[in-house]
Amino acid sequence: MKIYTQDNYIVMPWKNGEGSTCQLYKIPDPNDESLFLFRLSIATVSKSGSFSLFPGIERLIMILDGNGIKLDLPSGDITLTKNSKPLAFSGDAAVYAELLDGFVLDFNVMVARNFKKVNVEILANKKFQAISHSFILDFQNKSDYRLIELNAGDSVDFRSSGKQVLVYFGAEVD
């Protein structure tokens, strides 16, 4: 088990230059270090605007803090709040985000289509034992969160009232 905290994170500008994100974890593309196969990040969205495009990437997003955001997706509009399930969409898609009332803090999972399938779920229990390589975001508030990397057999017991989000790999992509 490995625990990542603010000392390990990298803050970087958004690809579209309209804000910044806090990168929690990244598996770089071995053929191009500027790209990634898998990335976990948290972003503060403080104004409405277009999402960055990430061709070849599948994205999952969920709201951690704030009043919510309405996303204009090619498939139609959807509103996300802190109570919403994670939403998957293509990084190829042009997406416009409209804040509902103030900022939002969102958790982003991005994975290259040719890498692995990724699953994201909110943990209901405060105890967890990993059956495969996985990550848990232990989120307390916008300035207090940590990422826990687990291997098969590792277990963790959460004694906090925060939100815990599990990210784990599914089947290999053919």
Residues 125-142 have pLDDT tens digits of 678 888 888 999 998 888
Sequence ranges of the domains in the chain:
8-114, 117-172
Average pLDDT, the chain: 90
The domain made up of 8-114 is a member of CATH 3.40.50.720? no
- What is this structure's pTM? 0.90
CA 146 to CA 9: how far, in whole Å? Answer: 10
pLDDT digits (tens, 9 = 90+) for 44-75: 998 999 999 999 999 999 999 999 999 999 99
